[in-house]
Structure 1
């Protein structure tokens, strides 16, 4: 942190919250590792070939009809790259959860000695978890950002940024996996000589992923602003009024 004091919630969140958040993030990472391992170790080229032959696996690229041999090349590349991406992103997510927990434990130890500490990162992660849990609700990044902004407090100038971070964090691992999917798709299309399709599909998918991530961050920022304003108004209305001076 930058060392500057920012008014936030009434007190630091309990350590149990850090453990819960780290556990949730680690579980998401482990699920990604399991999915990646399944693709890497259980799905092989022969199985894909059999699936394409009997129609279980279909590969369609825009309006281009692929032969079974071409479909196999593309499917094999996509599966290989996606499996590797899920593995790497999952392992990275678990490491982030461990690093987060270590950093928060150090912050709690510093707070016990009277050193100033902040919970900006914790609020962002908490908001991100809320976004994921409420992902079935439209515009859930705004809700997660609102929680983060409320905890950061309206007096702080970081409610918008913490909300944006809360909205973007859930999209970050998805974006990373999509990069691997895109890499596999482009590699497969280049293998069969579909250079034009590779450029068009790759550009479209990349722009779509970036748009989704940007929208999630923007909704989170909007929620963070609203949450901060609500916290500020709530603090103002609950503040005791001073009695007027007689003289």
Structure 2
């Protein structure tokens, strides 16, 4: 009788948003994608050679009113090296995120807890990435993430997670590219380029996270 009363008070056991095989599928997709991104970054960094860049610029009859040929070479080398490093960091982060999804969702399932919002956010980020060719696609990713949620919230928080997991890997690359511009360009040009990168990054965050939050709200309402 006591057990029955306790069950009545606590309600039904929370159920995960999806089954274990999908955990492994998400982990595998993120692992492979992250590995490819990291390998691409490593290849880019290894391929950057100053003599090759210099030859390329001379063969293309480089002309600029802003940069000398030497400054252009320095900039391209710095961009390649730092951009490649950024891709490596982003790729490793994506792969580790895939591992985290498998481990964390498995623990939540064993403990009888619902799927954490951040894992639903990862699902939404995958949807965002796959459908990135669709206008306003972050709305779809946020909606997919919150639709799967069993929480009775507005869905906005889940949508925000979807937006963050979509934009953070790109921001990591942008940060490293910004460092490359800052170290490769001469003083005034470096400051202007970094300012442009910062503004573009802030716009990207507002666009992706904002639309994903809106999608989260829509997805929650559609599943109310």
TM-score (norm 1): 0.79
Using the TM superposition, give the Cα deviation of residue 22 of structure 1 relative to its aligned residue in structure 2, in angstroms.
1.3
In structure 1, stretches of 5+ residues that fail to align are: 233-247
SS in 2 for 1:22: helix
Q: Quick check: 1:38–1:83 contact (8 Å CA) kept in 2? A: yes
| Contact map agreement 2:93 2:169 (CA 8 A) in 1 | no
Q: Which residue of 1 aligns with 2:50?
A: 45
Paired with 2:200 and 2:120, the residues of 1 have a C-alpha distance of 28
Residue 215 of structure 1 and its aligned partner are, at CA, apart by 1.3
Partner SS state of residue 170, structure 1: helix
Q: Structure 2-normalised TM-score?
A: 0.87
Q: Larger % of helix: which? A: 2
Structure with larger Rg? 1
Matching of residue 172 in structure 1 with residue 168 in structure 2: yes
- Name 1:200's counterpart in structure 2: 192
Partner residue of 1:229 out of 195, 217, 221: 221
The question of whether the paired residues in 2 share the 8 Å contact of 1:12 and 1:119 is answered with no
Q: Which of 94, 103, 126 is the equivalent residue of 1:129?
A: 126
Offset at 1:59? 9.0
For residue 169 of structure 1, give the secondary structure of its aligned residue in structure 2: helix
Contact 1:168 1:214 in 2 (8 A): no
- Evaluate the alpha carbon distance shift between residue 159 and residue 59 of structure 1 in structure 2; reply closer, same or farther with a 3 A threshold: farther
Please, which runs of 5 or more residues in structure 2 have no aligned partner? Answer: 1-9
1:117 positional shift: 3.7
Q: Which residue of 1 aligns with 2:145?
A: 148
Distance 1:51 1:200 in 2: 26
8 Å CA contact 1:144, 1:223 repeated in 2: yes
What does residue 4 of structure 2 align with? none
**How many Å separate the matches in 2 of 1:90 and 1:54?**
33
Task: For 1:1-247, list aligned pairs within 5 A.
Answer: 11-55=16-60, 64-111=65-112, 116-153=113-150, 156-189=152-185, 194-232=186-224
Deviation at 1:200, TM superposition (A): 1.4
